[in-house]
Amino acid sequence: MNIIACVKQVPDTEAQIKVKADGSGIEDGQIKWVMNPYDEFGVEEALKLKEKNGGDVTIVSVGPARAMETIRTALAMGADKGIHISDPALDNADAFVTASALAAAIKGLPHDIIFCGQRAIDDDSGQVGAMLAELLGIPQLTLVTKLDFAGSSVKVIRPIEGAQLSIETSLPCVVTAQKGLNEPRYASLPGIMKAKKKPVDVKNAAALGIASDVKAKVAKVVPPPARAAGKIICGDDAAQKAAELARCLREEAKAI
Amino acid sequence: MGNSIVNTRDQRFVLYEQIGIDKLFTTDKYSGFSRDMVDMVLTEAEKFAVEMLLPAYDIADKQDPATFKDGKVHAPVCFQEPYRRYCEAGWIGPAVPVELGGQGLPMSVFAACLELFGAANYAFQMYPGLTLGAASMIATHGTPEQVQKYALKMFSGEWSGTMCLTEPGAGSDVGASRTSARKLPDGTYSITGTKCFISSGDHDLTRQIVHPVLARIEGDPPGTKGISIFIVPKYRVEADGSLGKANDVVASNIEHKMGIKGSATCTLNFGENGACTGELLGNEREGIKIMFQMMNEARFGTGMQGLDFASAAFEHAVQYAKERIQSKKIEDFTNPAAESVAIINHADIRRSLLWMKAHVEGMRAMNYFIAYCIDQEHCAATEEEKERAKGFVDLLTPICKAYCTDRGVEICSLGMDVFGGYGYCSEYPMEQYVRDVKIATIYEGTNYIQSLDFVGRKLGQNKGKNIMNLFGEITKIIQSAKSVEALSSYAVHLENAMNSTIALTMRLGQWAKSLDYIIPVMNARPLLMIVGDVVIGWKLFEAAIIAQEKLAALYARLGVNEAQGRALAKDNSEVAFYQGKLANARYFASNVLPTIDGRCACIGLTDKTPVEMAEESFSV
């Protein structure tokens, strides 16, 4: 079975994000980078499929040189090889360019099933998986929380409001992983030692025959407005305080 | 935002910038390693510590401690899953050679992992920690069959291990041991006796537990000379390696302790029914010598415990000091309109935090250096280098154990002070840190035992060459610091402190040969702390010299002068980090090192009041 897992390197959820003074992006020199948590679910599911059905797992990532760490982490978890699409021309890639790059890399590989996170926690766009499926012309199963593989097809569960969908499709297909799909394993020490020797192909845009033809440009990144100071309501008794609270909610906050 | 337990930036500073472990990667032994690999190991260790171990820290103290129920010992339930995953990920013995199931990782890197695990949940870490120590000892001293039979299954975590020295009547005086061994016709020994305070002595994280037990073979001489060591499993091991019947090792209770409540501390009865057998490890009457391998490793591990808690307490204290609003700034005290500020603005909090920070980072640098010397023992190109590295390990191990645990207790206590009344309440982890760290000054050889070992054995070891090598290294750093403008006036304090210490150690030899021998015996603890402070000062200056170089390069790259550069700390975490290193050295040089001269003078007065006064006068 040929399994692909796409991963993105994102700032750690604990990282303190500082916006660049010129609003062109975030300061990325001093933050800790991790694998996008939704992609981890994808990698874990890929590894579980491999363990059960044989085959191999290829990790594909678009990102600068440092994204190699994330590929190696996935290899340390147990994936077999990696493709690192790295090109300064792709630094400002939007979802479309990223999906195009992934599609170009994956097209040339045998693929039965492709995992993506349902979205990346940095830009939250949630489009790459769907675009990738379209570009490859294969079915997409998004926001998946359970997956059963049955030889030439997969059956998945996708929660929707108040219910869940059970969807079945033939292979190959793209599956985007949602929280709940599994519990990602920790990279083991022997895994880390082996990861170094596993092959990772580095490809640039020219080699894949793609251009940074972005559909969406980031106009400006601005930090959220600083939270205004709270207000303490004083009063002699509860009734008086409640009256003042009601007045504030009506007149100042205009909430009621 | 950090992980709230260990500053991983400082870990990497010590490993890469201060020690330069990259040097190891050029040796045959560690040629398979590289910096990105080590980074990955550290990142995974941090992730595991924070996600798996830290959540169980408080639970295993309060709702789910180790228990003794219906004659059985249970580890905290919340340890089961982390233990399984810890073993699966290969964390028991990363530094163990590949052929024994480890990864051959440098000890210096493993020490950094251990700090993360210990700071996250020390009580948990004791189970795999003791297993590693016992298995390593069997791997070194056991027969090939014993290695196969016991050590491999311990390194994988399938079986666990302990160390059984202490008895009700034999604590610090291990030679008073009464546990006995009688040789059986098949070459094994029948073991009878009671051991107490045995950490991980019994529990349900693993089915099999392998006890290395000190015992005296019938007829062997009294004292430590007559002690042998035996491998005593909880269940007998069949020829095919499977577990057979119980081996008459029974836990009769667990202790109810002040801290580390997740660690099952057991009293073990061996051979109550005459059916406990053990295998001799190594030769007869070499028990103490063999056990010393495990003891030295455990002493380093216990020193790490001091660092672990100090680090976690410090990280929490800094965070809290930045958030807790209380009182106006001193300069605004009479201004009724002034707002209250975060307590990190107050001078006493800052002084306390810097005292903690300097010690934590100094101890981290010292402990990783010891681990690095262990690595050098394994990969040194010449016998001389190897011997030099071993000398540092021997000399610094008792300092690591006693200094880091004494200071660890002080740092946790001071960290609690930063929290004020809230620190005393169980809502915050500070009170648990204070309780959990304290045992470290007591077990694994009390700090007085460590000090006696240091003064009586280690100082003069190798004809004094080890300590002279240490002073030689410190002198080099003093000379370098003197040529750095930002440090030169401070380096004098390190020089004075070292000179006072050298003068005092010279007198030790004279005292030892005279009626004043009681002076070093009585003052062993203050003596060890004096040398400890000098070592910490050395490491802080070493770091500060590097930091000053890095700062100069950073300022040049940013195109700012030194005065402008100082203002950058607010926005540039690298600038802030290196400036913090300079602050460590300056503070320690101005506030700790000058006390050494006076402390040496105290001992030099050769006052013997404590030993001369009447016992009755202590309390009438």
- The per-residue pLDDT for range B533-580, each reduced to its tens digit, is 999 999 999 999 999 999 999 999 999 998 898 899 988 899 999 999
Predicted pLDDT of residue B475:
98
* Distance from the B546 Cα atom to the nearest Cα atom in chain A, whole angstroms: 20
Residues in B closer than 8 angstroms to A13, CB to CB, are none
CB atoms within 10 A of CB B535: 25
Residues A236 and A134 in one domain: no
* Distance from the A17 Cα atom to the nearest Cα atom in chain B, whole angstroms: 10
B204 falls within a domain: yes
A216 falls within a domain: no
A32 falls within a domain: yes
B321 falls within a domain: no
**Which range of residues forms the domain containing residue A201?**
2-208
**pLDDT by residue (tens digit) across B189-200?**
999 999 999 999
User: Residue B47: which of A15, A30, A186 has the nearest Cβ?
Assistant: A186
B220 falls within a domain: yes
A224 falls within a domain: no
**Residue range A100-124: average pLDDT?**
96
User: Residue A30: which of B36, B105, B574 has the nearest Cβ?
Assistant: B574
Tokens of A104: 């170009």
**pLDDT by residue (tens digit) across B447-493?**
999 999 999 999 999 999 999 999 999 999 999 999 999 999 999 99
How much of chain B is helix, strand and coil, in % rounded to 5? 65, 10, 25
Residues A12 and A87 in one domain: yes
- Tokens 């992934």 locate to A102
Query: Taking a C-beta distance cutoff of 8 angstroms, is the pair B280, B112 a contact?
Result: no
What's the whole-number average pLDDT of chain A? 93
Residues A76 and B365: their CA atoms lie apart, in Å, by 29
A64 falls within a domain: yes
**Domains identified in chain B, total number:** 2
Comparing A242-246, B108-112, B260-264, B296-300, the range with the smallest average pLDDT is: A242-246
Residues A167 and A241 in one domain: no
Tokens of A17: 């994000």
**pLDDT by residue (tens digit) across A91-106?**
889 999 999 999 999 9
Predicted pLDDT of residue B185:
97
B496 falls within a domain: yes
A145 falls within a domain: yes
A36 falls within a domain: yes
Which one has a higher pLDDT value, A123 or A59? A59
| B269 membership: H or E segment, kind and range | strand B265-270
Predicted pLDDT of residue B515:
82
**ipTM score above 0.95:** no
Closest to B369 (Cα-Cα) out of B490, B502, B542, B524: B542
Residue A176 scores a pLDDT above 90: yes
Report chain B residues touching chain A, CB-CB < 8 A.
1, 3, 32, 34, 36-37, 39-41, 43-44, 47-48, 52, 85, 88-91, 94, 103, 105, 571-574
**Hey, is A159 helix, strand or coil?**
strand
CA distances from B182 to A186, A247, B186, B192, B288 (A): 47, 88, 11, 9, 18
Residues A174 and A234 in one domain: no
User: Residue B40: which of A15, A72, A190 has the nearest Cβ?
Assistant: A72
Residues A178 and A248 in one domain: no
A67 falls within a domain: yes
B339 falls within a domain: no
Of B268, B287, B306, which residue is a domain's last? Answer: B287
**Domains identified in chain A, total number:** 2
Residues B270 and B179: their CA atoms lie apart, in Å, by 9
Residues A200 and A241 in one domain: no
Predicted pLDDT of residue A234:
82
Predicted pLDDT of residue A191:
96
B8 falls within a domain: no
Of B287, B303, B336, which residue is a domain's last? Answer: B287
The answer to whether residue B444 is catalytic is yes
Residues A233 and A200 in one domain: no
Residue B1 scores a pLDDT above 80: no
Of B287, B317, B351, which residue is a domain's last? Answer: B287
**Residue range A183-195: average pLDDT?**
94
Of B255, B444, B495, B542, the catalytic one is B444
**Which range of residues forms the domain containing residue B196?**
160-287
| A140 membership: H or E segment, kind and range | strand A140-144
Residues B101 and B116: their CA atoms lie apart, in Å, by 22
CB-based contact A190 B103, cutoff 8 Å: yes
Q: Please, what's the largest Cα pairwise distance for chain A?
A: 75
Q: What is the DSSP letter of B243?
A: E
CATH code assigned at B165:
2.40.110.20
Closest to B214 (Cα-Cα) out of B251, B253, B175: B175
**pLDDT by residue (tens digit) across B488-533?**
999 999 999 999 999 999 999 889 888 889 999 999 999 999 999 9
Query: Taking a C-beta distance cutoff of 8 angstroms, is the pair A35, A120 a contact?
Result: no
Closest to B508 (Cα-Cα) out of B603, B598, B593: B603
Nearest CA in chain A to B34: A196
Residues A155 and A243 in one domain: no
Residues A143 and A23 in one domain: yes
HEC string of B565-577 equals: HHHHHHCCHHHHH
Residues A16 and A66 in one domain: yes
* Distance from the B44 Cα atom to the nearest Cα atom in chain A, whole angstroms: 7
Residues A70 and A193 in one domain: yes
Residues A31 and A107 in one domain: yes
A234 falls within a domain: yes
